Structure 1
Amino acid sequence: MDNSLFYGDLATSKRVIYTPSKFAHSQLIHLQEIGELQAQKPHISQRENLSSFLFFIVTSGSGSLIYGNKEYKLHTGDCIFIDCHKAYSHLTSANDLWSLKWIHFYGPNMTAIYEKYASRGGLPCFHTVKGQAYTNIYHDIFTLTDSNSTSRDMKIYEKLVGLLTLLMEESHNQIKPFSDNNKKRNLQNIKEYIDTHYADKITLEQLSSKYYINKYYLTRSFKDQFGLPVNSYLIQVRVTHAKQLLRFTELSIEKIGQECGMNDANYFSRIFKKIEGIAPGEYRKMWKM
């Protein structure tokens, strides 16, 4: 770990270059570098092919980010979250020199996590309404880098997961918000209907007719609000109830499939294995041992 304060012609910066344990490096989302800077002169930073993900928040001033062949204007309260395998550059404006707080981190499945963030509407650049939450996480991690705790890497991992959770939550806010509170309430009614009637035959057409809502709007808006398409959510609910019956009843697998709205035993087994990675019978055996 290198905890250094740099004074230069271009920027004043405080940073920690962090080396995690071998275990954390291979198994956890781990910190690589954390720091903050105050620009002294206009300058540009460029990187590419870096095995890292970068988050930073503009705490004052303005500038821009070039990422994915697109330029994003940045101002106080704006955040960026990018995959540094791709080329990127950022620069402070000449007339409004910025200050930043940044975190470089990496780990197993980070590429998949970032793809999930993007698929939910997450953007490389966005304005946050939770700036204090991000700065709190930043300061917690910075403090932890100088900790003598034997579980330091686990605690940093916990904070980085908190950062990702916050980013995921705000990714939904980057999607056009619901403008009609009644429609939003109807979607909650639809979710509750699925939770209660999962054993029945449920189709988009049926839900559309029952709740007087366009099925295409329903498809898009249900995913926006709850993170899954209607059919995927229905399958998730059915599999969850199937798991309960497999563990706590002696019903046959075929009967359990029927109780959960999947009357074809082969279809039930196929869907269950796709979600859980093992067949229903294997799941029952494993959890009843």
Structure 2
Amino acid sequence: MTEPSSYAFRNDDTSILTLDSIGWQIIRSSKYSFSGNERPDTGHVIFQYTLSGQGWIEVDQKVIPIPKGSGFLVQIPSKHRYYYRDQSQPWEVLWLNLRGEEANRIWKMIIEQEGHVIQREATSPVITGLQELLRKISEEKITDKYVLSTEIYSWMLTLVRTSREVTKDISAVTSSIILKAKKYLKENYAVPLTLDMLSEYCGINKHHLCRLFQKSDQISPLAYLRERRVEAAVSLLRTTDLSIQEIGRQCGFDSPSYFGKVFREHMEMTPKDYRMKKLEFPYDAIYYE
């Protein structure tokens, strides 16, 4: 299979696990946006994985990027929104949509273990298995609901197994390291920080520290730092008369243009616009954690 494609299946059999839809898609329009509480179709679950580019999901009062190598799990209906922003690179995704009590049970379990956003390599059996299922549907014309149910259940067991492998390493020692790193970042966001400085403070290799952050919070240490800096900037924009350039400097941004870029990524507007739009955005503080 060499071209993006998608397939939908319709039946009323609620006694078995059923595949509602599956596809490989390349998203280029910022009109691509789905809210979990506004969809007309309900009672199913979705897994969507990024092959290239990046999308975003708003869930659990957080805005989380979905870059290459990550995916999200959501239940319909639920409070979330996933979407694409205008970018130089399109968002290329694999996705599937399932129905059945077992799908909802497993989704809930994975979300409790890893969160809504999970990390998997493209070579993971979760992703290669999904690609193989799409190939079978496309090339072998598999449409029988019982065969598809068997294939999907096997795939979900792979998802469960890999989830347990990912989460079993989150120990008390790991939690202590993450808390120590977060405290340091919160207290020192205003000064220039590097991964080397943070890893030296925590006493572990920087690559290992990044892996621990991803497993624990589905975010990198530097992304966590940027969130703390944006939080501080939002507060200063509303509670002081400091210039925007000075606010950026006090919040640890090395240049006004970089401050503006990061602020727009998180708030979808410039620092000046946020300062001016007090009626539409009446918040003196916003937290991403």
Q: Which has the higher contact order (CA 8 A, sep 6+)?
A: 2
Q: TM-score, normalised by structure 2?
A: 0.49
